[in-house]
Copies of this chain bind each other. A is one copy, B any other.
């Protein structure tokens, strides 16, 4: 088994940090996590005079300036992503040693902390290409039923990790609000399409996998090496305009229904940090076994990620009344995904397509098997036919202007320190 997937001293549950907020129960960023992000101090200076972006590591409620700490010598995460795995493991060990209780670095490093509340977060890296997969089999089945009642799951689904290319330029980071998209839509009974703001704006709960080292064009990444090429994981909201999608998607797939905005969480949880939360990849006895290039022992034993995912909605009315967001769903990634991240990487490169450090692979919507685990309003409302009632009595079929949608994620299991993915949120602005 690869050392990347095996817990080591940096995962020890007894480890604590001299940054006190990292030791609070249920903290997202204890010393066992150490996620990467790109930040700059909040301040009055903007434009050319704005402070420059830095690479930081989240620890409790703070951010450590990793370059100033001497752990890395770049402000470009793509450079770190391209490093060999052994170097990534060494950097993690150095960060852990420096931040742990009793560390000799405490005095020096304590001057390099910025409170997260005093920082602006940017996109963590340059995302050259964005591919969105469709690994959520319960999602694929429920949505398939709405679009194609006669054949919800295509015959290729259980053989091919279905994916398509997305738009890189419109990927934003948590807090980047955006306008409701407008476009062409057509109801089945209308003779011609009409034009206007989308009436069926939805979210999609996904994990985003960021690529580490890439591969040369014409070469493949074998499944059993694929974990080395996964740098880390973020939360991803793949906003979708269902009415635009229904009219445009045949025969080449979704386009304007998706590319107005996609939003990711600012902290990249490294593959190293996830080692204690690996789970088995299994196939139901009646399902086809993966073809050899998508099958391997390491993937079967540890391919899945035991991440809990939660969706929350705060309407404008809730915000006005200081009410907290209401939970729309909660579920587990490894119970939703039909393919693992390693399989996505192996499949993506099997034809010689070259991945590059920082490329983003979306998991697809991770809906669980039961209705309350659904990762989109399309599913929760049965295609918009059955509005859901929120805690405060408001109804929703699709997102309304002023709605704030929040995704959260975390990993916890007996015998391991809980780590969080933080959250990604954005508010819908009027068209």
A336-350 vs B, CB cutoff 8 Å, 1 = contact: the mask equals: 000000000001101
B165 touches A354 (CB 8 A): no
Q: Name A181's closest neighbour in chain B (CB-CB).
A: B351
Is the beta-carbon distance between B350 and A183 smaller than 8 angstroms?
A: yes
- Provide the bound-state CA to CA distance between A129 and B160, in Å: 25
Q: Which residues of the partner chain B approach A193 to less than 8 Å between Cβ atoms?
A: 156, 159-160, 291
* Residue in B closest to A431 when the chains form the complex, CB atoms: B352
Integer count of this chain's copies in the complex: 2
Task: Please determine whether B154 and A251 come into contact, CB atoms closer than 8 angstroms.
Answer: yes
> Does A167 make an interface contact (CB < 8 A)?
yes
Cβ-defined partner of A254 (8 Å) among B129, B217, B252: B252
Instruction: Digitize A162-194: 1 where CB-to-B-CB distance is under 8 Å, 0 elsewhere.
Output: 111111111010000011011110100000110
- Give the most central of A156, A165, A168: most B CB within 10 Å: A165
Q: Flag A214-257 by CB within 8 Å of B: 1 or 0 each.
A: 00011000000000000000000000010010011111111110
Q: Does A260 contact B (CB under 8 A)?
A: yes
Q: How many residues of A contact B (CB 8 A)?
A: 63
In the complex, which residues 105-154 of chain A have their Cβ closer than 8 Å to any Cβ of chain B?
Answer: 128-129, 131, 134, 144, 147-148, 154
Q: Please tell me which one of the listed residues B134, B163, B178 contacts residue A352 in the complex, with CB atoms under 8 A apart.
A: B178
* Docked-complex contact A291 and B255, CB < 8 angstroms: no
Asked if B217 and A353 sit within 8 Å, CB to CB, the answer is no
- B-side contacts of A256, CB under 8 Å: 347-348, 350-351, 353
Cβ < 8 Å to B, chain A residues 359-415: 359
Q: Which residues of B contact A184 (CB under 8 A)?
A: 159-160, 291
- For A129, the chain B residues whose CB sits under 8 A away are 167-169
Which residues between 241 and 291 of chain A lie within 8 Å of chain B, taking CB atoms?
241, 244, 247-256, 259-261, 288, 291
Asked if A164 meets B253 with Cβ closer than 8 Å, knowing A259-B351, A351-B241, the reply is yes
Q: Are A192 and B350 in contact (CB under 8 A)?
A: no
Instruction: Give chain B nearest CB distance to A254 CB in angstroms.
Output: 7
Residues in B whose Cβ lies below 8 Å from that of A128: 128, 168-169
* A311 at interface by CB-CB < 8 Å: no
CB-contacts of A290-318 with B (<8 A): 291-293
Partner of A259, one of B166, B353, B429: B353
A205 within 8 A of partner (CB): no
Q: Does A355 contact B (CB under 8 A)?
A: yes
Min distance, Cβ A198 to any Cβ of chain B, angstroms: 8
- Decide: A352 and B181 in contact? CB cutoff 8 A: yes
> Smallest CB–CB gap between A181 and chain B, Å?
4
Q: Which residues of B contact A218 (CB under 8 A)?
A: 178-179, 429
Q: Most B CB atoms within 10 A — which of A129, A159, A347? A: A129
Residues of chain B lying within 8 A (CB to CB) of residue A179: 218, 352
**CB distance B169 to A252 under 8 Å?**
no
Which residue of chain B has the shortest Cβ distance to A166 in the bound complex?
B165
Contacts of A347 in B (CB 8 A): 256
> Looking across the interface, which residue of chain B has its beta carbon closest to that of A126?
B128
Beyond the given pairs A179-B218, A183-B350, A193-B291, 13 more chain A to chain B contacts, judged by CB atoms under 8 angstroms and listed by A's residue number, are A129-B167, A129-B168, A131-B255, A154-B251, A159-B193, A160-B184, A162-B252, A164-B164, A164-B254, A168-B168, A249-B251, A256-B350, A259-B353
Can you name 23 A-B pairs with beta carbons within 8 Å? Answer: A129-B167, A134-B252, A154-B251, A159-B192, A164-B165, A165-B165, A165-B166, A165-B255, A167-B353, A169-B217, A169-B353, A170-B353, A172-B217, A178-B217, A184-B291, A195-B291, A195-B292, A249-B251, A256-B351, A256-B353, A259-B351, A259-B353, A260-B353
